[in-house]
Amino acid sequence: MFRSPFFRAYGFWHWGEGLQTVLFTWYMTFHAGLSAVQIGFYQALVLSPFLIFTIAGGALSDRIGAGRSYRWSTLCFALVLAGYGMADHLGGFLPGAFFAYCLAAGITSAISNPAIDTFIPQATPRSAQANALMAATAHNIAKLAGTLSGLLLPWLLALGGFGLNALLMGVSVLMLRLHFRAKLGVSEPRPVAARSKPQRIGILQHYRTCPENFDILLSSAMLGLLIVPVGYILWPLLLRERFPDAGGWMALLFISSWVGAIAVTGVAGRYAAHLRHPGRLALLVWLVWAVLLGLLLLAQSFWQMCLVTMVMGGAKLGKALVYGRYLHNSPAPARGVLIAVEQTAFWGLATLGTFAMGAMVEHLGVETVVLTVSMAVVCCVAVLAARRQLSRIEMA
């Protein structure tokens, strides 16, 4: 897997994303000392461009080519990171500058995300579902590397953290260019629109004629609205409330989660051919995650909290199990847009969920919100199971 320049490019990008998750949370929670409402607001702000610019980015990838779209958006992302790191070094935390950084980083990330995912189905000669599991493993290892890099933040400080993040994005662009040269002998493939004039594919029509993809979209909405915000809001605030002396080791929570994710997706990728009903397994994985979230309240020490989050990390397998099927079902002329719609459901609703979760913690307390989210995920899994679209998915 790691001999492929594509998976290296994919890995460096998500390494940067993993570092940014820890850096951004550490910066607000401990460096700037923001309140729960402020943390929720800024977390939602950096995700808010996914509501608008992800679909625009997917359409741009279909029109000008995913390679070109990815290259320029990711380089701009790197400049935004480096620029804010320097601004904080010179002037400290300034709400206006941080507001602008959140919007700029969110826009460039929203365009980059669907662009690089369009290459997954043809990344190797294996099936799209097998490639998706390989991409998930590369993603999780890269996120772990980014989280481990977060342990250096007390020494790197904001300037070094944002600078390292920018460097990783730049390396990803270089690796993707090497992938094109190694595989195709050219800089990048021409976009579909440049080769022919394919019949326009209606997005709503696609979901009507492919209910399987519609339910995968619904599962992504559940993940974005309920599961993703937990790492941004509930984990750091629960840590600050119950084990404040371990605040400097916050990155270990995320490390534990990625270790669990790598172990599970690695095994699934190796035995992908034997996974006959990946949708059923995905539903089970999400159900177990919901139960473990409630059990997180029983942790009596920071290390017990790390252990529970490690097992919870296995929930990242759920999306990987069905995402390859989503890519397989998406026609090539509209693949960028369909990926963007899925990511809008995932990250766009994460915007709303993150802000709402921060506000709920402020008014109800972190323990009440933990139990509420746990029960909500159980209900969503029950609805998806009753619709039976995911349970009927078979590995191609």
* Structural tokens at position 186: 């050219």
Q: Which of 322, 195, 302, 301 is nearest to 255 (CA)?
A: 302
| Residue type for position 124 | T
Contact between 359 and 369 (Cβ < 8 Å): no
Give the range with max mean pLDDT: 34-38, 189-193, 268-272, 298-302.
298-302
Sorting pLDDT into bands at 50, 70 and 90, what band is 182?
Answer: low
Task: Specify the residue for token string 């002037």.
Answer: 91
Task: Of 42-51, 235-244, 283-292, 352-361, give the lowest mean pLDDT range.
Answer: 42-51
Q: What local confidence, expressed as pLDDT, does residue 351 receive? A: 76
| Residue type for position 260 | G
Q: What local confidence, expressed as pLDDT, does residue 385 receive? A: 95
What is the mean pLDDT of the segment spanning 285-301? 93
* Structural tokens at position 290: 């919901």
Residue with the bigger pLDDT between 21 and 4: it is 21
Residue 170 has pLDDT above 60, yes or no: yes
Task: Of 28-42, 123-137, 290-304, 325-339, give the lowest mean pLDDT range.
Answer: 123-137
Give the model confidence (pLDDT) of 251-275 as tens digits: 788 888 888 888 888 787 776 667 7
Give the model confidence (pLDDT) of 191-208 as tens digits: 544 444 444 457 888 898
CA distances from 232 to 7, 25, 146, 289, 368 (A): 26, 7, 15, 16, 17
Q: Which of 126, 144, 122, 27 is nearest to 67 (CA)?
A: 122
Sorting pLDDT into bands at 50, 70 and 90, what band is 306?
Answer: very high
Q: What local confidence, expressed as pLDDT, does residue 314 receive? A: 87
Residue 1 has pLDDT above 70, yes or no: no
Q: What is the dihedral angle through the alpha carbons of 254, 258, 264, 267, rounded to the nearest 10 degrees?
A: -160
Residues 6+ positions from 302 with CB-CB distance below 8 Å: 239, 243, 246, 249, 252
Contact between 187 and 315 (Cβ < 8 Å): no
Q: Does domain 5-190+203-387 have CATH number 1.20.1250.20?
A: yes
Task: Specify the residue for token string 């929570």.
Answer: 253
Contact between 17 and 190 (Cβ < 8 Å): no
Sorting pLDDT into bands at 50, 70 and 90, what band is 309?
Answer: very high
Residue with the bigger pLDDT between 307 and 39: it is 307
Write the DSSP symbol of residue 49.
G
Q: Is the dihedral of CA 295, 298, 356, 143 positive or negative?
A: negative
Tally the C-alpha atoms within 13 A of residue 325's C-alpha that lie toward its C-beta: 28
d(CA 319, CA 382): 16
Residue 214 has pLDDT above 90, yes or no: yes
Task: Of 117-131, 145-159, 263-277, give the lowest mean pLDDT range.
Answer: 117-131
Q: What is the dihedral angle through the alpha carbons of 240, 245, 249, 251, rounded to the nearest 10 degrees?
A: 0
Residue 124 has pLDDT above 80, yes or no: no
Q: Would you call 52 helix, strand, or coil by DSSP?
A: coil
Alpha helices in 118-232 (DSSP H): 128-149, 153-184, 192-195, 203-209, 211-222, 228-229
What is the mean pLDDT of the segment spanning 337-342? 84
| Helix (H) or strand (E) segment spanning residue 76 | helix 66-91
| Residue type for position 330 | S
The dihedrals phi and psi of 210, each to the nearest 5 degrees, come to: -130, 75
